[in-house]
Amino acid sequence: MSTRACPQRVGILTGGGDCPGLNAVIRAVTQSLLRQCGAEVIGIEDGFAGLLCEPARARRLDWDAVSGILLLGGTILGSSNRANPLASAQATALALANVRRLGLDALVVIGGDGSMTIAHGLAQQGLAIVGVPKTIDNDLYGCERSFGFDTAVATVTEALERIQTTAHSHHRVMIVETMGRWAGWIALESGLAGAADAILLPELDYDLPTLARHCQARLQRERYSVICIGEGAKAQGGAPTLQTSPALPADGHPVPRLGGVAHQLSAQLQPLLDAEVRATVLGHVQRGGSPTPFDRVLATLYGNQAAQLLLQGQFGCMVTLSGGQLGHIALAEVAQQQRTVPAGHPLLQAAQQIGVCLGQADRDRAHRPPLDHP
């Protein structure tokens, strides 16, 4: 992290996938800077892609421009998860040149681990940067809660509640697949909130026979079962379920994406159970819509904290929440890392202790309730 004079012209961009709460951060950063020091705020359009155009795509953000956007989903600036100014020396030079042409003293980057890795690389090139953690996956290293996560959990929980009624009506085993990549936070929290009978996470490879026995026992008691599975989960000895994106980034190589594990699990479970098995992949519905009140407040706190770091001249860092307290961490510590569900986490322990199947043979077998359990 470095310390410099307070910037008077600040750029702000939203990188990576969209996420509920992005507009709340844009609003908080802009209003805080306008009110506290009169700094000029420039919105970079379409994330890092806006810095890779000639001329750069950008517009001035004043009080009117950010008024009324707190409750809006998505981002008024647009975003891109394809553009990488570090992809080549030419791209880096263009991005840096555009920052100079725009007269920016500092740049606020709102994004996930990929955006923070890019931000760290640009900071090493001399840019004054402050990062704001954004991801529904809640997997940013050094930050215990990213905005957008609460909204995603609420969306998945509502879907699980609706799936429960269909599963009960038709006496089916229903599998719901969540986003989250290699981290199981969405599946874990929404699975608990939505009363899933089994929760399968990328961090814990599941044992298929154990899962089948748990579902069959549930069918004998209740005649239906609901499984919540993170997209990065896999069976013991298996591999993650990948799909290949039809779109190509600038380097021309296909981008592998997680997705479809619910359908794969459905096919594996069907011959082992005395009920119809159906799969639902929630997909991008988890990223859309208006942010929850919690996410609106958290995003506002993060945006204001980013502004305070700018006013203090502290750069090369990302806003964090740790132990319930706002702070910051060096971008170098965040880059190329992810925060996954650790073994022994209280939520995992609670799930096991109330009888939720996590797909773990020894523990789940030991704690399985009798078939006549109410």
Q: Is 137 annotated as belonging to a binding site?
A: yes
Q: Is 100 annotated as belonging to a binding site?
A: no
Question: First-to-last CA distance in the chain?
Answer: 57
Cα 85 to Cα 121: distance, rounded to the nearest angstrom:
9
* Catalytic hit among 137, 139, 150, 295: 137
Cα 178 to Cα 138: distance, rounded to the nearest angstrom:
13
User: What is the b/e burial string over 32-61, where b = at least 16 CB atoms within 10 angstroms of the residue's CB?
Assistant: bbbeeeebbbbbbbbbbbbbbeeebbbeeb
Is 137 an annotated catalytic residue? yes
Q: Is 120 annotated as belonging to a binding site?
A: no
Residues recorded for the chain: 374
Q: Is 112 annotated as belonging to a binding site?
A: yes
Q: Is 222 annotated as belonging to a binding site?
A: no
Decide: 347 and 201 in contact? Cβ < 8 Å: no
Q: Is 115 annotated as belonging to a binding site?
A: yes
Q: CA of 238: how far to CAs of 40, 205, 212, 234, 359, in Å? A: 53, 8, 16, 6, 14
Cα 234 to Cα 241: distance, rounded to the nearest angstrom:
7
Q: Is 113 annotated as belonging to a binding site?
A: yes
| Number of neighbouring beta carbons within 10 Å of residue 77 | 22
**What are the percentages of helix, strand and coil residues in the chain, rounded to 5?**
40, 20, 40
Q: Is 278 annotated as belonging to a binding site?
A: yes
Contacts 24+ apart (CB under 8 A), 33-36: 33/307, 33/310, 33/311, 34/62, 34/63, 36/307, 36/311
Please name the amino acid found at residue 96. Answer: L
Q: Is 136 annotated as belonging to a binding site?
A: yes
Cα 326 to Cα 343: distance, rounded to the nearest angstrom:
25
Q: Is 148 annotated as belonging to a binding site?
A: no
Q: Is 180 annotated as belonging to a binding site?
A: yes
Cα 183 to Cα 277: distance, rounded to the nearest angstrom:
25
Decide: 277 and 218 in contact? Cβ < 8 Å: no
Q: Is 1 annotated as belonging to a binding site?
A: no
Decide: 154 and 73 in contact? Cβ < 8 Å: no
Q: Is 179 annotated as belonging to a binding site?
A: yes
Q: Binding site: residue ranges?
A: 17, 82-83, 112-115, 135-137, 172, 179-181, 231, 278, 284-287
Q: Could you list the active site residues?
A: 137
Q: Which segments are annotated as binding site for ATP?
A: 17, 82-83, 112-115
Q: Which residues are annotated as a binding site for substrate?
A: 135-137, 172, 179-181, 231, 278, 284-287
Residue ranges of the binding site for Mg(2+):
113
